[in-house]
Structure 1
Amino acid sequence: MFVIKHKNIFFFLSGLIVALALFSIFFFGLKMSVEFTGGSLMEVSYSGMGPSAQEVTSRAEDFLGGKSTVQEAGEQGFILRTRELTLEEHEALFSRLSFGGAYIPNEERYTLIGPSIGEELRSKALYAILLVLSGIVLFIMFAFRDSGDKDTHASGPRGWQYGTIALITLAHDVVVPAGLFAFLGSIFVDAEINTLFVTALLAILGYSIHDTIVVFDRVREHVRRDKEERHHEPLSVLVGKSLSATYVRSMNTSLTTLLALLALIIFGDSATF
């Protein structure tokens, strides 16, 4: 009942966070990776000792005259994302990564992504998110289609109302991380929107709707029980009871996920980041 009692505070905080996220998106903009804008992707590894990521970044940027994204891959490997390179630029950059013969680089792969392919990937990523959102909302509307009962005092929400609530919560869960990445992208060069970010968003949607369905099911159960026992409690009270009944489960789900992520941070390879 704590959330219902102080619902205005929680509405204000959620609204403030969403407003800040939207401001961040429109003010800073989302920095797209090479996968979505087009460009070149080169993966190199070094035999024996190799340079640091900072040295590789500096070397690439000095040669190309612009920003390049360098990500560690394995113990002595790096993935470079740059603007679209010509054949001569590609060969010259690879040669410069030997640092005048101080290191021995090996080119593991080189991919050239044209602007049209990047635009196609960007469109497909957006369609994937919209398709998932639509599918989830339609499923919620169907699953809870018989929840409302207009003939009772404590009638629960209708199926379309459950679907609308789910859509709002999912939109919240998409906008907030997108806004955070827009802000981080203005500070850190590595904070880019790529296919992994889209995958993470879809995972967030999965976790979010999983908890939401559990809460909705508790609301439906409490509404049905209230009707049978004729207590005629307000819907806000029934929603408060439903939230209270799911706190522990939600916390356990979050903690389990955090423990798995913590294990990846501690024991995972540097390429995980």
Structure 2
Amino acid sequence: MAQGTEFADLQDELEGIFGPGDPQSVRTVGPIIGAELIRTSAILIIIGELFLLGYLWMRFGFRFGTAAIVALLHDVILVVGTFAILGFFFNVEFDALFVTALLTIIAFSVHDTIVVFDRIRENRIRHAGESFGAIVNHSILQTMSRSIITAITVAVTLGALVLLGPPTIRTFGLALLLGVVSGTYSSIFNAAQILVAWNDWDARRRSRSGVAKPVRSASR
């Protein structure tokens, strides 16, 4: 009842300024709806992460899957944190389109990470005599141009959407733009480096115990 009264008062005030009008749609977001949206978003993201984790574990192995999920969490937290700041200072809304953007970011980021991981797996066979860190470095250099070109192509399109698109989808475009940038560098500087650090730590641990066993990934 209170919301209906508030809408009527707002409509009367706007008609007093701009003249009579016919509202095309009315959308009210209260605290209950907002809490439900946040809860549903968290559930969707967690389910998506679990499915991706299972897929990556089966395809590449435990370490690769864990490193990829950490990189994905970094991307999601960065975008959500940025929009929390924007919401505090500029009243940017957290809506269903933002949730869609988060799920799209997860898909983009994991795809970019899989490209790097797949090259690492191939180079472990081609450069079997080299250290794991050197193999990862070769793989990053071989895939970096592809990742950068893809990111720039997508970023230009999203940038145009943010600058020239209608206000209703600018938040969506901005979230995707941040996610694409984050997903591109996290595949290289987060996921791959977690693998190297994990492998080095495991090598030191095994050398102290007298057992040397390098990191393994699932074969095709």
Could you state the TM-score of these two structures normalised by the residue count of structure 1? Answer: 0.57
The corresponding residue for 2:42 is 126
The corresponding residue for 1:264 is 161
For residues 186 and 268 of structure 1, do their structure 2 counterparts lie closer, same or farther at Cα, with a shift above 3 Å needed?
closer
Match of 2:21 among 90, 98, 105: 105
Bigger-Rg structure (1/2): 1
Match of 2:102 among 185, 195, 201: 201
What one-letter code is carried by the residue in structure 2 that aligns with 1:202?
A: L
Q: Are the counterparts in 1 of residues 119 and 139 from structure 2 also a CA contact under 8 Å?
A: yes
- Structure 2: any 5+ residue segments left out of the alignment? 171-220
Superposed CA offset, 1:133-173 (max 9, x none) = 111111011112xxxxxxxxxxxxxx000111011100110
Structure having the higher helix fraction is 2
Q: How far did residue 182 of structure 1 move? A: 1.8
Match of 2:10 among 74, 93, 104: 93
Match of 1:226 among 127, 131, 155: 127
Structure having the higher strand fraction is 1
Q: How far did residue 86 of structure 1 move? A: 3.4
Q: How far did residue 180 of structure 1 move? A: 1.2
Superposed CA offset, 1:236-264 (max 9, x none) = 00000000000110011101102222342
Match of 2:54 among 133, 138, 142: 138
Q: Are the counterparts in 1 of residues 37 and 95 from structure 2 also a CA contact under 8 Å?
A: no
Match of 2:150 among 253, 256, 263: 253
- Structure 1: any 5+ residue segments left out of the alignment? 1-83, 145-158
For residues 128 and 188 of structure 1, do their structure 2 counterparts lie closer, same or farther at Cα, with a shift above 3 Å needed?
same
The corresponding residue for 2:196 is none
For residues 180 and 87 of structure 1, do their structure 2 counterparts lie closer, same or farther at Cα, with a shift above 3 Å needed?
closer
Q: Percent identity of the aligned residues? A: 35
Match of 2:139 among 242, 256, 259: 242
Q: Distance in 2 between matches of 1:265 and 1:121?
A: 23
What one-letter code is carried by the residue in structure 2 that aligns with 1:255?
A: I
Q: How far did residue 188 of structure 1 move? A: 0.7
Q: Distance in 1 between matches of 2:157 and 2:108?
A: 14
Q: How far did residue 104 of structure 1 move? A: 2.3
Could you state the TM-score of these two structures normalised by the residue count of structure 2? Answer: 0.70
Aligned Cα RMSD in Å? 2.1
